[in-house]
Amino acid sequence: MSSSKEMAKVGRFSKAAADLSSLSTLSRFGDFPEPPKTITTSSDEVILPEFERLKVVGRGSFGIAVLYRRLSDKSLVVLKQVKLSELSTDERAMAMNEVEVFSKLHHPNIISYLGSFLRGDLLLIEMEYAEGGTLAQVITSRAPTDRLPERQILTIVEQITSAVAYLHAQAILHRDLKTANVFLSRRGVAKIGDFGISKIMHTKVDTRTILGTPYYFSPEMCEGRDYDAKSDVWALGCILGEMCCLRKAFSASNLSQLVAKIMAGQYLPPPTGYSTCLRNLLKILLQVNPADRPAASEILQYWIPLVYRNLGPQRGFTYPRQLEEEAAAAMEQLKLKQYTEESTASLPEPLTERSVLYQLHSFGTGVSMKPLPLPATAKITRVATNGAHFVAVTADGAVYTWGDDAKGQLALGTSSGPSDGSVWKHYPTKVESLRAYTVVGASCGDQFTIFWTNTGVVLSCGDNSRGVLGHGDTLNRSKPYVIERLRGFKVIQVTCGIHHVVALTSTGTIFAWGYSRSGALGLGTAVTSISIPTPVSSVAEIETRVSAIFAGGNCTMALMDSGEVYAAGANVKNRLGFGKGASKVYRFRKITQIAKKVVDLSVAEDHSAFILEGGYVITLGDNVYGQRGLGHARCPPESPNLVTGIKSKFIVRVRCTASGTVVYSDDNVVSFWGTRFGVPTDNFTDSLATDTDFRQGSNTAAFTNFLVAVYKSELVLDPIDILALYSSPDQLSKGHYVKIGDIVPLHHSTLILVHTTNPLLSSTEPN
């Protein structure tokens, strides 16, 4: 690019003056020394009887932010005060835009929106107070040589990236990410704020509008081109560079020089004390071409775990003298390694198994498979869902939840949410309230969750209107509480139906609680609702011991050590095998129609499936969707049928959905039969492009029409393979393998849990 053309591009930015100090910013708190608009004393001293005014915590071009104590509960909150009469039409629109965007967001790394109201012409936005100040204040308070530890930098970047990935998943651009808009809690948790100039990406706003703070402008913003979520990623890079250098990543004495540096990608390099992986992360975030920058979700899933993986347990900033000492120590280790290699055979590096949870979409001839953003090195041992909220448990006892949280079922300690109950967590969040326990399992019901630990302790949270939390009351709980009735018993498994729960102890005792008018509790006709775990006597009378339990909609099944199956509950479409004359069974009875030993089973609304010893699958119940695997969708036999289409496979797991059956075999092949739902690959793009109502906003009717128009059903009468995982001989020779750990079918997709010893790619290895 010639110098004249380059200057022409930056000319639009330099008309006001040649010095940066003359620039203003549209952020809540300005980065530049120019004083903000004067706010009158009357506006500053607005009288709010519900609050006690403490101090002004910030001033910006739109107004002031004041710290208050709410008198009703003594909590500290910040009220951003915006005098609408002093704003232009565009500025007033931006202020109202902040309220609109802010009210949609629910994420642990975003400042919480608590409400907004008007007092005269004064708009007040109530939000969470971050006691730790801003990241910009933390940086400026440090001496130039007092570098931030690399682990602290990485933690803050990870938290900011999680929030940005959530915003982008909501189709929202922040457009003013900077250290002054990153707030810190008392415990150092990073939370982004200031959504005054954020943009909902599917609205008709010109993305070429230049807003924000020039230090964090992306190259495409400098050129006046359309920009998207990758501009927020550029700003992330600027924040990372600023934390490393304790100075702006891009700085200059005037605006023209600043823009020229941004256009050339000439950022201030991090000091040599930081790791190569962190430098590579900064480099990829600050790529001049937006297409070369990763998405925020990719940073969260791949790049940040990669830096962590190469980070020592106590990694801080490495000072020059420390570098010399480390170099000397490394030389000694090298000499020792050479000596060892000459005298003994080298041993292979130990392999570590990790897990990836994929979401598989399979419809027609199209297949897509995308990983969920869970920790890249974690070993996931259990995945649970009711179709609306999700739980993943790792081998070290950590718990991650996402999805619907309207009743507190995600155990994140949040409230019941807005009046319409619409609270959705789009990304897995670690459940901090369970840190004191080593959780080994979880099960999900209708807006509630049950957890159990390695010592047999059982905890519950969520909706308790049916007494399903087991505490003897009907109070909802947004944090897990121990079920006291089960103390003293070592619970080894819990399974949830829609409104009932069943727990199995190490001695084979079954406890049941919750609600079922169809006998799913197995406690007899007299008990249809009970809010305290109660022993099931009908199982205790059985001579053989219970090895596993399974719950479906209004039914429960118990698999015995002998391979026999006992069941109680609603025998819809004869899914329990008791004959069409037995519509409800109130005490556990043996399913006599199954003569062979059962090793696994699953039950859905209208049908059930069983794996027999030897890897064969039989089914019971309805066949209107072809879910019995009979090769047709006509009226099925009352007795169990063998699914002949997969009899050549050795099936190890079966899962039933409302309209189909999914299995996987010992050679890592996933098969399906029945009716499935999805988007045909030949009209997916056109459907999205022509449905303007859906792209216009979050209107429920428009979204429903979109689903009806795009999602189709497909009848699969004979089992088909929808996924096959394979390890090459070369991979196996190195001990690198992939294997399926579980399958969790959803309405339009299937979650596939994959275990692997394949190492994560380093930043220098090709994909």
Task: Give the residue numbers marked as catalytic.
Answer: 176
Strand, helix or coil for residue 766: coil
Distance CA 584, CA 692 (A): 48
In whole angstroms, give the CA distance from residue 163 to residue 158. 9
Total number of residues shown for the chain: 767
- Cα 260 from chain centroid (whole Å): 38
CA 173 to chain centre: 19
Question: What token pair was written down for 118?
Answer: 């008007």
3-state helix, strand, coil in the chain (%, to 5): 25, 30, 45
3-class DSSP assignment, residue 223: coil
Instruction: Report the candidate in 371, 415, 398 with the shortest Cα–Cα distance to residue 751.
Output: 371
Q: In whole angstroms, give the CA distance from residue 626 to residue 659.
A: 8
User: For residue 739, which of 724, 750, 749, 759 has the smallest C-alpha distance?
Assistant: 724
**Pairing mode, strands 424-430 and 439-445:** unpaired
What is the sign, positive or negative, of the torsion defined by CA atoms of 74, 181, 303, 229? Answer: positive
Residue 49, burial from CB neighbour count under 10 angstroms (0-12, 13-18, 19+): exposed
Output the six-digit token pair for 344: 């003994």
Closest CA to 466 of 476, 451, 456, 453: 476
Distances (CA, A) of 764 to 181, 276, 348: 33, 11, 22
CA-to-CA dists, residue 372 to 109, 376, 400, 672, angstroms: 19, 10, 11, 22
Q: 3-class SS at 113?
A: strand
Using the Cα atoms of residue 575, residue 576, residue 581 and residue 583 in order, give the sign of their dihedral: negative
Q: Count Cβ neighbours within 10 Å for each residue of 375-399 and write b for 16 or more, e otherwise.
A: bbebebbbbbbbeebbbbbbeebbb
| 576 in Cβ contact with 543 (< 8 Å) | no
| CB crowding 236-271: b at 16 or more within 10 Å, else e | bbbbbbbbbbbebbbebebbbbbbbbbbeeebbebe
CB atoms within 10 A of CB 612: 20
Q: Give the helix/strand (H/E) hosting 444.
A: strand 439-445
DSSP string, 458-511: EEEEE--TTSTTSSSS---EEEEEE-GGGTTS-EEEEEE-SSEEEEEETTS-EE
Are the beta carbons of 165 and 297 closer than 8 angstroms? Answer: yes
- Minimal CA–CA distance to 565: which of 621, 518, 609? 609
Side chain identity at residue 547, one-letter code: S
CB atoms within 10 A of CB 482: 16
The two tokens of residue 646 are 């997969």
Helix (H) or strand (E) holding 219: helix 219-222
DSSP class of 592 = T
CA-to-CA distance for 67 and 76, rounded, in angstroms?
A: 7
Instruction: Kindly report the backbone phi and psi dihedral angles of residue 729, in degrees, each rounded to the nearest multiple of 5, phi listed first.
Output: -55, -35
